[in-house]
Chain A
Amino acid sequence: MAALQGRRRLGEYVLRATIEPTGLTRRIIPCLDVAAGRVVKGVQFKNLTDHGDPTEAAARYAAEGADEIVFLDITAAPERRDTDLDWVRRTAEQVFIPLSVGGGVRSVNDGRKLLLAGADKLGINTAAVAEPELLTRLAERFGSQCVVLSVDAKRREVSGAQGPSWEVVTHGGRTPTGLDALEWIEAGIERGAGEILLTSIDSDGMQSGYDLELLRRASALSPVPVIASGGAGALEHLAEALDTGAAAVLAASIFHQSTYSIGAVKEYLGRRYPIRVG
């Protein structure tokens, strides 16, 4: 009986394997902005409101089926504080899916402390702009799979001959850098970034959809996964983002405000894309 069932399963497996080269799924990632150890959310990084304890929120999302949790310590860079490790530790003791933590990683030692506390990936933003070599050092020490280049991109008001362009901004959107976002993404990958978390500052918190043109351009040039971020307000927005080629969609407001559960998002996207269920 067991052997028969095994053969049937293998038959289905072989059939699928001839159709699809991989069963890798697109990821649904809730993002928790953390300030002073609390989950917060604002509009375009301003007017922050409290959304509870990071560990509790992460555990809830993981139970609902989140594929990964991204934490961004949005106070770390402007205020020059070390990322508070206690909530990372507490979360890692209770939540057994990949945890990405960004904010305040300025050295290999900062990264090491976060990984030992339980982070699986390090999000690097401001520090990489100031010192691109940091990406290389982190990748050499911990592997590219640990290094997520977080890029906050702001649409330039004047379009060039090639259409729109985006500038990298840092310090939670407050500091323009003069860097072209797409060029910076390419440079970051060259230096060792294993994943790109791409946030449209114009769309962040607006819930009016991702910047699809930005995502399309970035996904086309990036050999590593691009995580779409900034602007999710409706289920169609998430599907549109995946249509650009993004490997994952990140959202905050729609999950924090319980507009949609992770399960509802997955059911919707699962009709068009391979999505992890169960």
Chain B
Amino acid sequence: MTGTEATVIDAGVGNIGNLVRALRRLGAAVEVTCDPATIRASRCLVLPGVGAFRPPREVLRGAPEEAIRAALDDGATLLGICIGYQLLFESSEEFGTTDGLALLPGGVTELPGGVPLPHIGWNRVFAVRDHPLLAGSTDDDHYYFVHSFAPRDVPEEWVLGRCRHGRSFPAITGRGRIAGTQFHPEKSGAAGLRLLRNYLAWADDLAAGANGGASGVDGGNSATAAGN
């Protein structure tokens, strides 16, 4: 099993215990922190979040955000989950417009009515692109969602998986070393654990490549293919 050292960024809101339990279950050594120096030194970052967009955004503003950018520039990988995924985009319209980390193109808006909101439960995600995160995935994969807002206007070339609830939205997005999921992989059974395992393996491969070791990176999705 992987011995990846994963850093879970704790923006101080929400219960992230189950994510940490899942990563540990997969063999990762997990540190939970918001300390900029620790984030800066990490090669495998996970940004979780539950609840609302703005509180964690404000916690990250300043030094933690700068540390995330510096770590990415240095070759770290980043996986955003749920609100942590939404934080990766340019802005969110939840309770007025708030700027995001702008690590991925697109904005976050509320899902339309006509379907139950929040969107809570298992929904099907269609993988529309190949990516290391999706290794082993099938068109029948379902994941567990808890949210009312979702990204939109994401350039199709970065959308890895789509889901529909009121509108079609990018459920998985990836660009370079940055990726994110609107759903909770840590609550999505075997499919979710597989995605997290893929993430840890991808981070390991990229770290090995960055250190001059054997490059296990899929060419089309190489982290060097796109910067911020």
Stretch of B70-78, B85-93, B111-119 lying at the A interface:
B111-119
Q: Write the B15-47 contact mask toward A (1 if CB under 8 angstroms, else 0).
A: 101100110010000000000000000000000
CA A5 to CA B138, docked complex, whole Å:
12
Q: Which residues of chain A are within 8 angstroms of B190 by Cβ–Cβ distance? A: 278
Looking at the assembled complex, report how far the CB atom of B77 sits from the nearest CB atom of chain A, in whole angstroms.
Answer: 21
Q: Does A48 contact B (CB under 8 A)?
A: no
Q: A9-B126, A21-B166, A97-B144 are in contact. Are A116 and B15 (CB under 8 A)?
A: yes
Looking at the assembled complex, report how far the CB atom of A224 sits from the nearest CB atom of chain B, in whole angstroms.
Answer: 8
Q: A9-B127, A20-B164, A21-B166 are in contact. Are A194 and B21 (CB under 8 A)?
A: no
Which chain A residues (247-278) contact chain B, with CB distance < 8 Å? Answer: 247, 274, 276-278
Q: Which residues of chain A are within 8 angstroms of B100 by Cβ–Cβ distance? A: none
Please state if B187 and A13 are interface contacts (CB–CB under 8 Å). no
Looking at the assembled complex, report how far the CB atom of B171 sits from the nearest CB atom of chain A, in whole angstroms.
Answer: 10
Q: Which residues of chain B are within 8 angstroms of A16 by Cβ–Cβ distance? A: 164
Q: Which residues of chain A are within 8 angstroms of B18 by Cβ–Cβ distance? A: 92, 96, 118, 120
Smallest CB gap from A142: residue in B: B15
Q: Write the B136-151 contact mask toward A (1 if CB under 8 angstroms, else 0).
A: 0011111010100000
Q: Does A78 contact B (CB under 8 A)?
A: no
CA A20 to CA B193, docked complex, whole Å:
28
Q: Which residues of chain B are within 8 angstroms of A278 by Cβ–Cβ distance? A: 138, 140-142, 190-191
Q: Does A107 contact B (CB under 8 A)?
A: no
Q: A25-B122, A96-B189 are in contact. Are A17 and B146 (CB under 8 A)?
A: no
Q: A120-B187, A276-B142 are in contact. Are A247 and B121 (CB under 8 A)?
A: yes
Q: Write the B97-134 contact mask toward A (1 if CB under 8 angstroms, else 0).
A: 00000000000000000111011111110111110000
Partner of A9, one of B128, B188, B189: B128
Smallest CB gap from B124: residue in A: A23
The tally of CB-CB contacts under 8 A between chains A and B is: 119
Which chain B residues (170-198) contact chain A, with CB distance < 8 Å? Answer: 186-193
Smallest CB gap from B137: residue in A: A278
Chain A interface bracket (under 10, 10 to 19, 20 to 34, 35 or more): 35 or more
Q: Which residues of chain B are within 8 angstroms of A115 by Cβ–Cβ distance? A: 15, 17
Q: Which residues of chain A are within 8 angstroms of B228 by Cβ–Cβ distance? A: none
Partner of B165, one of A6, A23, A195, A276: A23
Please state if A6 and B128 are interface contacts (CB–CB under 8 Å). yes
Which chain A residues (1-51) contact chain B, with CB distance < 8 Å? Answer: 2, 5-6, 9-10, 12-14, 16-17, 20-25, 27
CA A134 to CA B95, docked complex, whole Å:
25
Q: Does B163 contact A (CB under 8 A)?
A: yes
Q: Does B162 contact A (CB under 8 A)?
A: yes
Q: Does A225 contact B (CB under 8 A)?
A: yes
Q: Does A93 contact B (CB under 8 A)?
A: yes
Please state if A116 and B140 are interface contacts (CB–CB under 8 Å). no
Please state if A145 and B120 are interface contacts (CB–CB under 8 Å). yes
CA A262 to CA B123, docked complex, whole Å:
18
CA A21 to CA B190, docked complex, whole Å:
26
Smallest CB gap from A1: residue in B: B130
Q: Which residues of chain B are within 8 angstroms of A62 by Cβ–Cβ distance? A: 189
Please state if B138 and A10 are interface contacts (CB–CB under 8 Å). no
Q: A6-B129, A27-B121, A96-B25 are in contact. Are A22 and B164 (CB under 8 A)?
A: yes
Q: Does A52 contact B (CB under 8 A)?
A: no
Q: Does A143 contact B (CB under 8 A)?
A: yes
Query: Could you jot down 13 A-B contacts, CB within 8 Å?
Result: A13-B164, A22-B165, A24-B115, A24-B165, A25-B142, A65-B189, A115-B17, A120-B18, A142-B15, A194-B118, A224-B116, A247-B121, A276-B122
Beyond A21-B166, A93-B21, A225-B116: 10 further Cβ-contacts under 8 Å? Answer: A9-B126, A10-B126, A10-B128, A13-B126, A17-B168, A21-B115, A118-B21, A120-B187, A145-B146, A276-B122
Residues of A whose CB lies within 8 Å of any CB of B are 2, 5-6, 9-10, 12-14, 16-17, 20-25, 27, 62, 65, 67, 92-94, 96-98, 115-116, 118, 120, 142-145, 194-195, 223-225, 247, 274, 276-278
Nearest 6 Cβ contacts at the A-B interface: A23-B124, A276-B142, A13-B126, A22-B165, A276-B122, A2-B130
